[in-house]
Amino acid sequence: VTHISLGNSACFHFVVVLKTPRVLGASAGSLVAAAVVFTILDEMLHFAKQVKAFTLGPFDPSISIFHWLECVLRKYLPSDAHQLASGRLAVAMTRLVDGKNICMSEFQSKEDVALLCSCFVPVYCGMRPPSFRGVKYMDGGFSSMQPVSGPASHTLTVSPYSGEADICPADPPCMWDIVVAGTNMKLNMANSFRMLSSLYPRTLEVLEQAYHNGYKDAFHFLLQKGASNHEGELQN
């Protein structure tokens, strides 16, 4: 689970009040998007802290990060999760058979909300990818880190890495950029550290700092642009 993306959940505290009609997410961003729709932001952050409490974090052989995440979702998602999510939450996944990005926004039951498919990283989360309606999927970030539904100009993008997203860390100018799954990011040491920490945060302090950095990024953006100008879709 990318804990820095969970750190960016602070961004959504601001955007929720705008009554954003649609929230999209890929990879760990789908968990943050779901946390917004279901208002379980604190529970998701607590989950990340629990994982870090183990000696090797998510790599500790005594835990199954994917199974643990499944239990957390089963516990905290409301019984009417599919009704709350349908039409508002869009979950991006990568179809295993052809690598195509699939975005789901209509769900038939609580178990049908495809969050596990969207953030399944082979090896890191296990060797057997989950299925959604009989089709196997893996992490949505492999095919599109920032899925957009409808006109891109109407979508407010959020990223834990500095680059071209509307809300992201404000790093100094950089000579080099890198495109990862359709997303432009700065190729610098700060982003390298963020990527490393997303897989294995060194301390709980790093986790907390990522959360507060996301809060500051969102606050700075909305102060600059004015919250009233950003109604529409939200993508993480």
Indicate which residues carry an active-site annotation.
Answer: 27, 139
Structure-token match 């990818």, residue found? 129
Q: Among candidates 11, 13, 73, which has minimal Cα distance to 236?
A: 11
Give the three-class secondary structure for 41.
helix
Q: Among candidates 175, 174, 176, 152, which has minimal Cα distance to 165?
A: 152
User: Distance of alpha carbon 204 from its chain centroid, rounded?
Assistant: 19
Looking at 17-148, list the stretches that DSSP marks H as alpha helix, in order from N- to C-terminal side.
28-37, 41-52, 65-76, 81-85, 115-118
Q: How far apart are CA 149 and CA 33, in angstroms?
A: 14
Q: Which residues contact 58 (CB under 8 A, 6 or more apart)?
A: 1, 51, 65, 124, 199, 200
Torsion of CA 42, 15, 149, 26, to 10 degrees: -30
Q: Among candidates 174, 119, 114, which has minimal Cα distance to 145?
A: 119
Q: How far apart are CA 87 and CA 171, in angstroms?
A: 35
Q: How far apart are CA 138 and CA 119, in angstroms?
A: 7
